[in-house]
Structure 1
Amino acid sequence: MTYSLQRRVFCGFALAAVVPVHAQVAGLGDAINKAGRQRMLSQRMSKAWFGLGQGIQAETARRVLDQSMALFDRQLVELKTFAPAGETRDTYVLLESAWSDYKSLLVGAVPLQDRAKSVLDQAGKVLALAHKGTGLFEQQAGKPGAKLVNVAGRQRMLSQRMAQFYLANSWNVESALSLREISKAREEFVPALELLRNAPEATAEIRQELVLADNQWLFFDNALKARVTSLKAAADVFVSSENLLQVMDRVTGMYARVLG
């Protein structure tokens, strides 16, 4: 795939990602999908913020940040409304507070290196709560297929987490931590693809999408392994992470529909 084609695929997803499939949560499969998407968005927003700060895919990064924030806001309202009383509802109240703090870091000021660690830290707090909410919805579903929706959705997050830490490292922000987290996420991503591929619930359509995921993973992994810290190398990571995200978002939706 050429670089220009990668850009074209990516830009299409950036626009499609903000169009809600449902005006509200349609069921537990949809809840797991959207809750897991909040995890991804926590990392995608910081990736875009780092891109803006370094002039990496700046125009696209701005669009990704704005659209991701809008989508996070909308899905948070939907999930909080859908969440039953108790631990799940309490988790989304906490997430709402953490999101407010995170959003205040992302907007209203030009991205600067001296604020980057705070953005990274708050992205992690939002991620942890979004992950907890996803797990609680999975437990409520009580079906084996619910785990597959969660795992597929987590692949979306891992794609953005690796890109986030790559861009953090390229800005000399938490470099040792960033390299460790990229390695850890890489080690988790590949076996999860195998789990999704070999699951009894995997339809022919899902397996076909996972072949595309394998191809996009190769592009992304090669970009991550580039030792040259340049604007082009970082742009390759940014774009290829979006392409991988696009495929894994489709796979997650497919598993969510199988679950019902």
Structure 2
Amino acid sequence: MKKYLSIFLLACSTLVSMPSLAQLSDSEAMNMAGLQRSLSQRMVKNYLMLGADVRVDAAQRQLQETVERFDASQKALNAYAPNPAIKAALAQVDATWATYRQQIEAKPDHAQAAAIFSTSETLLQQTQTVSDEMARHLGEMGAAVNRTGQTQRIAMLYMLKSWKVPAPDIDAKMDKAVSDFETILGELEARGTPNEEIAAAQRRARAHWGFTLKGIDMHNTQSSVPTVITVSTDSLFRQLNELTRLYAGLQADE
């Protein structure tokens, strides 16, 4: 569990900085591959926010930053690719990314939203394949599956429902995303609270998660609160980054 959480936390912190095109280390490449999945979800979330007129300025800024980050990360991973299987998996991502980027940077159109979501799901599966191939190549070091970014998937699925996009199995996918994040948060809490600062950060993360769940429950009773969900999930993501920083400090002291 310690090894799993170390990779999870490092990946959270990596999202806040642009990747370098310099040669990646194995651990950097593994984390970056996992983060590509998160970025695929964040982009469509921002597209939907723009279309639904929800926090437009923040959505536009996040979308531009995320498109640039995904593209730079993909270039860095292509430069790193250590074997034919990883190169082939990355080539599939490249092909889908060429289409997806055009879709996601176009003016939001409700009639196109379901197709864009479908492309994002393809991209999510392909980036998962890259992560799987990376884990296979790296063996024990890559065995822990990176599952960061569930907050962005939850917000994206919520926006699909809020904007009434006719996409299949949204409720089932939302239930799974919520369950997955609950597992992640529970495993993080199981690591313990070695000091009050970490204990307080864990309490804040749990509180933000509770607030997010209330917003989801409100939608289930026909009261959509997309602004609440997008703000709370972004706040929750920042709380995880704070926990990342604190745990990284503990590891540096060991």
Of residues 42, 45, 48, the one that matches 2:46 is 48
Question: Counterparts of 1:1-260 in structure 2 under 5 Å?
Answer: 19-20=17-18, 22-24=20-22, 26-107=24-105, 109-143=106-140, 146-148=142-144, 150-151=145-146, 154-156=147-149, 158-174=150-166, 177-198=169-190, 204=194, 208=199, 210-227=202-219, 228-230=222-224, 233-249=225-241
Q: Is the 8 A contact 1:216 1:243 kept in 2?
A: yes
Provide closer, same or farther for how the CA distance between residues 94 and 135 of structure 1 changes in structure 2, counting only shifts above 3 A: same
Q: Alpha-carbon deviation of 1:244?
A: 2.1
Provide closer, same or farther for how the CA distance between residues 237 and 91 of structure 1 changes in structure 2, counting only shifts above 3 A: same
Provide closer, same or farther for how the CA distance between residues 188 and 44 of structure 1 changes in structure 2, counting only shifts above 3 A: same
With structure 1 as the length reference, what TM-score do the two structures score?
0.78
Q: Alpha-carbon deviation of 1:210?
A: 4.6
- Distance in 2, matches of 1:198 and 1:214, equals 13
| 1:176-207 Cα distance to aligned partner (Å, 9 max, x none) | 622221111112221232334446xx894896
**1:47 alignment partner AA:** K
- Distance in 2, matches of 1:44 and 1:192, equals 18
Provide closer, same or farther for how the CA distance between residues 76 and 241 of structure 1 changes in structure 2, counting only shifts above 3 A: same
Q: Alpha-carbon deviation of 1:125?
A: 0.7
Provide closer, same or farther for how the CA distance between residues 223 and 147 of structure 1 changes in structure 2, counting only shifts above 3 A: farther
Structure 1 unmatched ranges of 5 or more:
1-15
Q: Alpha-carbon deviation of 1:175?
A: 5.8
Provide closer, same or farther for how the CA distance between residues 65 and 240 of structure 1 changes in structure 2, counting only shifts above 3 A: same
Q: Alpha-carbon deviation of 1:141?
A: 2.6
Name the counterpart of 1:6: none
With structure 2 as the length reference, what TM-score do the two structures score?
0.80
RMSD over aligned CA atoms reads 2.8
Count of residue pairs the alignment pairs up = 232
Name the counterpart of 2:10: none
Q: Is the 8 A contact 1:18 1:71 kept in 2?
A: no
| 1:11-57 Cα distance to aligned partner (Å, 9 max, x none) | xxxxx956326453542221121111110110110000000001001
Structure 2 unmatched ranges of 5 or more:
1-13
| 1:125-177 Cα distance to aligned partner (Å, 9 max, x none) | 1111111111222233322x6444x33xx131x21111111111111113662
Q: Is the 8 A contact 1:50 1:111 kept in 2?
A: yes
Q: Which segment is superposed worse, 125-134 or 169-178?
A: 169-178
Provide closer, same or farther for how the CA distance between residues 252 and 37 of structure 1 changes in structure 2, counting only shifts above 3 A: farther
